[in-house]
Structure 1
Amino acid sequence: MRVMVLGAGGFIGRHVMVALLAAGHDVVGVVRTMADLPAAFPQIRFEQVDLADATDAQDWRALLQGVDCVVNAAGVLRGRQMEAIHVAMPTALYDGAIRAGVRQIILISAISARDDVYTDYARSKCAGEEALRASGLAWTILRPSLVYGDGSYGGTSLIRGMAGLPFVTPLPGDGRFAFTPIHVRDLAQGVVRVCGNPVFYDRTLEPVGPNTYSLRDLLGRYRAWLGFGRTRFLAIPMPLMRGLGRLGDVAGDGPIATNSLVQLVAGNAGDSAAYAKAIGRRPRSLDDALLARPAQVQDRWHARLFFLAPAIKAMLVLLWLVSAWLGLFHAQEETQRVVAGLGMPQGAALPLRVGSSLADIAVAALVVLDRRARWSTMIQIALVVAYTFTISLATPLVWLDPLGPLFKNLPILLLIATHGAIGDRR
């Protein structure tokens, strides 16, 4: 069969593609940006589509020619594109699929996407499910619990990050929120079994593992697996957690947001026996998966860096804003010395000072907006190098200042480079 996978570049999407390939299917991956995916998966044909804009059936007709089954693993937890990606785009996709003769649509939703959970994420996910049920196509909806794997993304990254904090492990509320986690490869194998199988047409399944754990249990298991010693919990009152979630909403890509917190509290437990019976196999348990794959140094790095990454980003934004403020209001004499050292007219001091301060503000905004930390990293490095070279040329004795104002640019460059290396969480 030819199977098209939406969200093919994501954590779940990549594993689904690999499992489909291993089962002998012809796979087409739909991604927003190609990046290095064609090189990483040379056996797969990729199509570049911005799903938030693909809300007309005409956008899909050519892409769906010859496709037998579509696996929709695309989704966002927050942002203005949520309605488009969860509802408008799939609705257009279904219209195009009917015209192209697609036999089945598999939607990967979420076990906590329910009518009684009051978030825009849950509402749009439920609306997307209803659109699929009403499409006239053969459909299968998979609503997994927490999905974990050898790597991590989203909720499992947050759990690893919390488990990796030094001294104490923060515990939202009483930590009794339930999960029945499933390994991503078991979820992918479930997709393979469902794909093209009429037994699963017009059915909703909840892919879950064999055991249910509380959040407290999960944090303890992951901390032990990472090798960070005994878990000392610090209970965080839920009002404070909700406040942190709102801060994450404002930041746009912080580690905690209101939606993720509400979905966590909503409950993510499922019926293990029902899923194993439906799919014909028993997924591995979390304990077995952790035992079979011991933590490596990279896992410990990731856990330690999870909360450091947004902290570094915030510090860089603050650095550029403070630099702009100092340049505008407190650097008249320093700018005059630079202008004199470069042999420029004194009238150039004010535009140089104002211009550099405005550039600093623009860079701070770019760091906030550049979610993959690509362009912002290159521009920050270029600007710091330019500032350092210019000041060194104009006033070389500054390097002998005991406070090291220029020497400090060297660790700042390393901090910028570090953020560039870890800033992309995809």
Structure 2
Amino acid sequence: MKILITGGTGFVGSHLRKELLRKGHQLRLLVHRQTDGLEDGVEQVKGDITRMETLGGAAEGCQALINLVGIIREFPSKGTTFQRLHVTATANALAMAREAGIDRYLQMSALGTRPDAVSEYHKTKFKAEELVRASGLSWTILRPSLIFGPKDAFVNMLAENLRLAPVMPVMGDGKYRLQPIHADDVARCFTLCLELPATVRQSYELCGNDRFTYQELLDRIAAAMGRPAPFKPQLPLGLMKLVIPVMQHLPPFPITMDQLQMLLEENICDGNWKQTFNFEPISFEAGIREYLGACHS
């Protein structure tokens, strides 16, 4: 099958390309500019998913479209907004599929996306999902939890902080829970969707088997690096809710109110996705040890 991927040069995209090629699919990526170092045979077409006028013919000859485009943080001064990268991008991806006669469409969403969402991230992810559900295409929506892997942003950021000092400040009590999933497992689910008719017009929440609090996650990252558990001073939520709105507009500041909201909401699921996809996910500790092991720290 020939597949067009939007957002295919990113973190999850790199894992998905590898898995799709392993299964014998042909790949075409929509890119802002030509990217070096991709796998042999991967085709690239230039275009901006947020500008429909740049997308003419990009999907021609493809039998499926996978939309991975998304951001975790806005920078409005640069035009990087949730509305643009989640809602507009999805509307354009769907339009591309329809114009090219593509029926099979896969959408990357996020765990926690729902009608009554509080964060703008989840609100716009839900708007995008609604567009997909109303498209008339043979769609599938995947909602991964926190995704980890060798080039992830979150786990590597925490590990880098631990390399600097064995101190990890925690927002509130740190008892909010997470259930991370490896990028290879997310890629495997996307790929299996193309083979499993039962996944058409279905949504799946994806999470790993390991569920732990944020404080426990920090300890597991330290252990994978061969280091003792860090000191974890608690930052009062009331204070952080005053500081973050003022500081979040500065790119170096590590967290936004949206991200704090999502952290406190927790990031867990029931694991029912395994009944459809029929495999066991990579464990968190084994997965991070491969790229955070003592020899790398």
Question: TM exceeds 0.5?
Answer: yes
Q: 2:108 maps to what in 1?
A: 108
- Given the superposition, is the C-alpha separation of residues 254 and 13 from structure 1 closer, same or farther in structure 2, using an over 3 Å criterion? farther
Greater Rg over alpha carbons, structure: 1
**Secondary structure of 1:66's partner?**
coil
Give the CA deviation at 1:237.
1.1
Q: 2:188 maps to what in 1?
A: 189
Distance in 2 of aligned mates of 1:21 and 1:116 = 38
Give the CA deviation at 1:193.
0.5
Q: 2:64 maps to what in 1?
A: 69
C-alpha contact 1:4 1:28 (8 A) present in aligned 2: yes
Give the CA deviation at 1:176.
1.3
C-alpha contact 2:69 2:89 (8 A) present in aligned 1: no
Q: 1:285 maps to what in 2?
A: 283
Mapping of residues 396-407 of structure 1, within 5 Å: none
- Given the superposition, is the C-alpha separation of residues 31 and 177 from structure 1 closer, same or farther in structure 2, using an over 3 Å criterion? farther
C-alpha contact 2:175 2:214 (8 A) present in aligned 1: yes
Per-residue CA deviation, residues 1-43 of structure 1 (Å, 9 max, x unaligned), is 1111111121111111111111110011122333xx3333332
Give the CA deviation at 1:228.
2.9
**Counterpart amino acid of 2:257?**
T
**Counterpart amino acid of 2:217?**
L
Distance in 2 of aligned mates of 1:41 and 1:255 = 33
Per-residue CA deviation, residues 107-136 of structure 1 (Å, 9 max, x unaligned), is 111102333332221111100000000011
Q: 2:201 maps to what in 1?
A: 202
- Given the superposition, is the C-alpha separation of residues 9 and 265 from structure 1 closer, same or farther in structure 2, using an over 3 Å criterion? same
Unaligned runs of 5+ in 2: none
- Given the superposition, is the C-alpha separation of residues 251 and 222 from structure 1 closer, same or farther in structure 2, using an over 3 Å criterion? same
Residue 40 of structure 1 is aligned with which of 31, 38, 41? 38
**Counterpart amino acid of 1:98?**
R
- Given the superposition, is the C-alpha separation of residues 237 and 161 from structure 1 closer, same or farther in structure 2, using an over 3 Å criterion? farther
C-alpha contact 2:3 2:65 (8 A) present in aligned 1: yes
Distance in 1 of aligned mates of 2:64 and 2:246 = 40
- Given the superposition, is the C-alpha separation of residues 10 and 241 from structure 1 closer, same or farther in structure 2, using an over 3 Å criterion? farther
Give the structure, 1 or 2, with the largest relative contact order (CA under 8 Å, sep 6 or more): 2
- Given the superposition, is the C-alpha separation of residues 83 and 196 from structure 1 closer, same or farther in structure 2, using an over 3 Å criterion? farther
**Counterpart amino acid of 2:66?**
V
C-alpha contact 1:181 1:286 (8 A) present in aligned 2: yes
C-alpha contact 2:49 2:93 (8 A) present in aligned 1: no
Distance in 1 of aligned mates of 2:265 and 2:63 = 35
Higher strand share: 2
User: Are residues 1:145 and 2:145 paired?
Assistant: yes
C-alpha contact 2:143 2:205 (8 A) present in aligned 1: yes
Q: TM-score, normalised by structure 1?
A: 0.64
Distance in 2 of aligned mates of 1:260 and 1:172 = 11
C-alpha contact 2:144 2:206 (8 A) present in aligned 1: yes
Q: 1:49 maps to what in 2?
A: 47
Q: TM-score, normalised by structure 2?
A: 0.90
**Counterpart amino acid of 1:279?**
F
C-alpha contact 1:144 1:182 (8 A) present in aligned 2: yes
Q: CA RMSD in A?
A: 2.0
**Secondary structure of 2:165's partner?**
coil
C-alpha contact 1:113 1:122 (8 A) present in aligned 2: yes
Give the CA deviation at 1:165.
4.6
Give the CA deviation at 1:149.
0.8
- Given the superposition, is the C-alpha separation of residues 141 and 236 from structure 1 closer, same or farther in structure 2, using an over 3 Å criterion? same
C-alpha contact 1:141 1:205 (8 A) present in aligned 2: yes
Distance in 1 of aligned mates of 2:273 and 2:141 = 13
User: Are residues 1:259 and 2:254 paired?
Assistant: no
Q: 1:132 maps to what in 2?
A: 132
- Given the superposition, is the C-alpha separation of residues 251 and 33 from structure 1 closer, same or farther in structure 2, using an over 3 Å criterion? farther
Q: Give % identity.
A: 25
C-alpha contact 1:76 1:82 (8 A) present in aligned 2: yes
